[in-house]
Copies of this chain bind each other. A is one copy, B any other.
């Protein structure tokens, strides 16, 4: 199993506070020591840091925390392997280009009999059920829309439909980004919070680290954060309902779909 973290904002924001909380679960406070990854969008393109090792002890993860890169959309993952060795090819998040933009995907859970899913032109490079399911999901999107990017509404509906179908065979909590929206499907465990004015102080659940967001924000800022388990101890997170998918845009929850 693994832990997921997503952030989607209406103003360029660094993910350092939340990523520090997630990193701690990658080998220090949690057992997810088999790899970590962080994707940060700049427009349609994601820059991805990946390492098949524990985030808590990684010099690269420390570098990313100490040299924050601001973004409107980020997806991070710490891995505890269930299928597939510890290797770069098996490290989330996974990335593919479709319709001239990066799709970035991270998964918590295990999808059974994944090789029964139909693949299109996207082929797994590693051995995880997660990457296979991602390739099958992209194949289904391309099958639905061909070479022309769909509208936001049509895309969200299609993602919800196919993620629900794939998720029937196991546990399929996922985060998916396309540089425009963040899609977060709950199979068993997923939580979100939207931070907006009036901003308050927040303290990490696993560490004595606090941020007073009032000091680092402006009144119009909105930041949505999604995580497997709440990352802070003094904020009110909303739990996901199994078989639903949240869609975030502009730092707000804009849609909840059955999935």
Contact = CB atoms under 8 A, between A and B. Distances in A.
Contact of A147 (B63, B89, B100, B121): B121
Given A63-B63, A67-B59, A45 B97 contact: no
Contact of A42 (B63, B89, B102): B89
A124 interface: yes
B125 A101 contact: yes
Interface size class of A (residues with CB under 8 A): 20 to 34
Contact of A63 (B44, B60, B87, B121): B60
Interface in A80-105: 87-89, 96-102
A47 interface: yes
B121 A121 contact: yes
Nearest to A52: B42
Contact of A96 (B42, B97, B101): B97
A100 B124 contact: yes
A126 B42 CA distance: 11
A67 to B, nearest CB: 5
Given A59-B67, A60-B67, 15 more contacts: A42-B52, A43-B88, A44-B89, A45-B89, A45-B125, A47-B50, A47-B88, A48-B48, A59-B63, A60-B63, A63-B63, A98-B123, A99-B123, A100-B123, A100-B124
